[in-house]
């Protein structure tokens, strides 16, 4: 089982860097869909990801269709958007034998409207007030991936950590 965070045409290197750090912390694959709004050697991208880049499994895709072609079972593709009546906690992500793909849109415009209209059953929303247009992309990715991981009982993740001087009893 692998979880994927996929970013469609991300524009802000700091968001992508923060998401990469979350991917390193959760053993989640990061899928980046071109065109990117920055170069991958951008200083703010590297700074946001800190020294975790070697621990991030990144896949690059030429466009949305190329990314979609890599998904073996579209049943496990989720489109994160504000245009949905379904909440991100509604689906069952607990099947750890399947790969789960969480696709997030561009910071300014989201996912392409024709694509979203063709796939309303895959669209999920993070509930929020109407006082903001959207949550920050890196925060949204963290919210969604940790819900999936919670349902998967945090498989493969360290659930507790002790100070070095503490002894296990």
DSSP secondary structure, 71-137, as one string? -S-GGGEEEE-SS-SSBTTSS----TTS-EEEEE-BTTTBS-HHHHHH-GGGEEB----TTSS---H
**61 assigned to some structural domain:** yes
Nearest one of 106, 77, 76, 107 to 8, comparing CA atoms: 106
Work out the average pLDDT over 8-34: 95
- 77 pLDDT higher than 70: yes
**161 assigned to some structural domain:** no
- 6 pLDDT higher than 80: yes
pLDDT value of residue 82 = 93
Q: What CA–CA distances, in Å, run from 40 to 16, 21, 100? A: 10, 14, 25
- Sign of the CA dihedral with 133 first, then 142, 56, and 81 last: negative
- The CATH code of the domain that includes 89 is 3.40.1280.10
**71 assigned to some structural domain:** yes
**158 assigned to some structural domain:** no
**169 assigned to some structural domain:** no
Considering the entire predicted model, what is its pTM?
0.92
- 42 pLDDT higher than 60: no
Q: Could you list the residue range(s) of the whole structural domain that residue 80 is in?
A: 3-151
**167 assigned to some structural domain:** no
Q: Distance between CA 58 and CA 20 in Å, rounded?
A: 8
pLDDT value of residue 103 = 98
- 48 pLDDT higher than 80: no
pLDDT category of residue 115 using cuts at 50, 70 and 90 = very high
Q: How many domains is the chain built from?
A: 1
What proportion of the chain, given as a percentage, has pLDDT over 70? Answer: 92
**157 assigned to some structural domain:** no
60-75: per-residue pLDDT in tens? 999 999 999 999 999 9
Tally the residues of the chain.
Answer: 169
Structure tokens at 138: 């890196």
pLDDT value of residue 152 = 97
**66 assigned to some structural domain:** yes
pLDDT value of residue 162 = 84
């Amino acid at each position: 089982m692998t979880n994927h965070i996929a970013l469609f045409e991300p524009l802000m290197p700091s968001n992508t860097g923060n998401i990469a750090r979350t991917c390193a912390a959760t053993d989640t694959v990061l899928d980046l869909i071109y065109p990117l709004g920055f170069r991958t050697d951008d200083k703010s991208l590297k700074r946001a990801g800190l020294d975790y880049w070697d621990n991030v499994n990144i896949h690059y895709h030429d466009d949305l269709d190329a990314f979609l072609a890599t998904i073996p079972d579209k049943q496990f593709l989720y489109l994160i958007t504000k245009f949905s009546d379904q909440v991100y906690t509604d689906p069952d992500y607990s099947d750890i034998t399947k790969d789960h793909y969480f696709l997030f849109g561009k910071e300014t415009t989201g996912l392409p409207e024709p694509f979203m209209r063709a796939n309303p059953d895959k669209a999920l929303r993070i509930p929020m007030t109407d006082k903001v247009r959207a949550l920050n992309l890196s925060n949204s990715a963290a919210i969604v991936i940790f819900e999936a991981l919670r349902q998967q009982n945090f498989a493969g993740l360290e659930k507790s950590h002790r100070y070095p001087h503490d002894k296990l009893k």
